[in-house]
Chains A and B, each alone.
Chain A
């Protein structure tokens, strides 16, 4: 039951993009087509779950026992960068199709602050191993949901008559604001 709450909390109530403001760069950059949005979301979710496992082990078996809290940020970001590389190599060998679909997004994930942000939040919340994994999955699914919703709207937007100064990113931000407003309706769900 508690795991379910963590998941729903990460996907809807405290959606990483629309409520916590994490992962905004890819959110604005890769949300022009539904298909690419879905690919980016899937790749990110995958990296998040893998990172969740490794950062959890590092935090509680290395950083904490050896009293090295100040190395947290450098180590986590290096783990994420290494994970992204590994996932990239692994996919290229095992599933060329998936690699072709996700390949171009993978390098971008390293600088997606949603990944590092969620690792730090998971540690702060002192989640257990399983909780961290579920939290990572929820964060990834929440990110994907926001990305796909945004892409769907932006695809339709091509046919709309947007005032010239607002065209492009301006209107995208306002749409994101409205989406965020909608998501704040989930407050109180959990």
Chain B
């Protein structure tokens, strides 16, 4: 039961993007299409899980005074691994995500989970927590990417849904559209949460 809870909290209640509002830079920067959102989410999930496991395993070895530099080195190492492997195996995706792959290292989600969770809990819990948070981040990015791709390019996961000549809302592909999309999605999340709370109270 405890494990399920640790996993599920990342998906909704403590969703890094919509609830905690951390890790915002890649959330806005790479979500011009749904596929980019999935790719970025997967890369972050990998780094998050690996670093959570390692930091949790080393939690009794690392002296608390130098824990922050240790976390940084661990996270930076896994970010670079993802950067190199993605460049080798998925060059097209790597080109689109560009600088935001090495920037996983300064994604507050990673430092946040390392400090608040992984450094205090056993390995298995930390892994589940990392996985849950990562998937929560991934679905949020995918959702934002889907909305922006639909409105901005009239396509979904690369498949054109409207004719080539049809006018699309190009603004959703560029910076201002990203902010506005996230703003309204946040509002939608809040509405759903309020509704859920009401029904659970009535029940």
By a beta-carbon cutoff of 8 Å, the part of chain A in contact with chain B is: 18-25, 27-28, 70-74, 77-78, 81, 110-113, 115-117, 120-121, 124, 163-166, 169-174, 176-178, 180-181, 184
What are some 10 contacts across the A-B interface (CB < 8 A)?
A: A19-B175, A22-B29, A25-B25, A70-B84, A111-B106, A120-B103, A166-B186, A166-B187, A173-B182, A184-B174
What separation, in Å, do the CA atoms of A66 and B130 have in the docked complex? Answer: 35
Question: Which residue of chain A lies nearest to B107 when distances are taken between CB atoms in the complex?
Answer: A113
What separation, in Å, do the CA atoms of A28 and B24 have in the docked complex? Answer: 9
Smallest Cβ distance from A78 to chain B, in angstroms? Answer: 6
Q: Which residues of B contact A19 (CB under 8 A)?
A: 175
Smallest Cβ distance from B192 to chain A, in angstroms? Answer: 9
B187 and A117 form a contact (CB under 8 A): no
Smallest Cβ distance from B95 to chain A, in angstroms? Answer: 13
Tell me which of B21, B25, B171, B186 has the highest count of chain A C-beta atoms within 10 A of its own C-beta.
B25
What separation, in Å, do the CA atoms of A163 and B68 have in the docked complex? Answer: 40
Q: Which residues of A contact B179 (CB under 8 A)?
A: 173-174, 176-177, 180
Q: Which residues of B contact A71 (CB under 8 A)?
A: 80
Tell me which of B76, B84, B184 has the highest count of chain A C-beta atoms within 10 A of its own C-beta.
B76
B108 and A111 form a contact (CB under 8 A): yes
A73 and B175 form a contact (CB under 8 A): no
A21 and B187 form a contact (CB under 8 A): no
B183 and A113 form a contact (CB under 8 A): no
Confirm or deny: B58 has a beta carbon within 8 angstroms of a beta carbon on chain A.
Answer: no
Name the interface residues of B64-106: CB closer than 8 Å to any CB of A.
68-69, 72-73, 76-77, 79-80, 83-84, 99, 102-103, 105-106
B105 and A73 form a contact (CB under 8 A): yes
Confirm or deny: B176 has a beta carbon within 8 angstroms of a beta carbon on chain A.
Answer: yes
